[in-house]
């Protein structure tokens, strides 16, 4: 279910429907909590970062990507570390000025 919600959020972000994307990501996050399953947690953070970046809020994007990286390391989900690192490299903090 969470993977499907993440796909939906990805589409909403692409359509710049940020409020709906945020609601879908919050729903996926709540399911993670209820099920004590954190395999999608880094993806939720990465997508949240992508949403913030697409909406012009780079500092918030960086916070989310750093959360994704930390979560991925904590849970041993290294593919998400690469995702977060690629976003952080593509949109460096110095461009926030």
Q: Average the pLDDT over 27-42 and give the result.
A: 91
Each residue's pLDDT tens digit, 46-80: 999 999 999 999 999 999 999 999 999 999 998 89
Tens digit of each residue's pLDDT (9 = 90 or more) over 10-27: 999 999 999 999 999 999
**What does 14-72 look like in DSSP terms, one character per residue?**
HTT-HHHHHHHHHHHHHHHHHHT--SSHHHHHHHHHHHHHHTT-HHHHHHHHHHHHHHH
For the chain, the first-to-last Cα distance in angstroms comes to 38
How far apart are alpha carbons 84 and 91 in whole angstroms? 11
- Residue 42: CB atoms within 10 A of its CB come to 26
Which domains can be identified in the chain, with CATH numbers? 2-96 (1.25.40)
Residue 1: per-residue pLDDT: 79
Distance in angstroms (rounded) separating the CA atoms of residues 32 and 11: 20
Q: In 10 A of CB 26, how many CB atoms?
A: 14
């Amino acid at each position: 279910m969470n993977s499907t919600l993440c796909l939906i959020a990805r589409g909403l972000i692409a359509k710049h429907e940020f409020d709906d994307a945020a609601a879908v990501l919050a729903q996926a996050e709540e399911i993670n909590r209820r099920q004590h399953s954190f395999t999608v947690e880094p993806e939720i953070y990465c997508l949240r970062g992508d949403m913030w970046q697409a909406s012009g809020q780079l500092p918030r994007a960086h916070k989310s990507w750093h959360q994704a990286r930390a979560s991925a390391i904590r849970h041993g989900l290294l593919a998400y570390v690469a995702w977060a690192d690629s976003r952080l490299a593509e949109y460096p903090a110095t461009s926030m000025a």
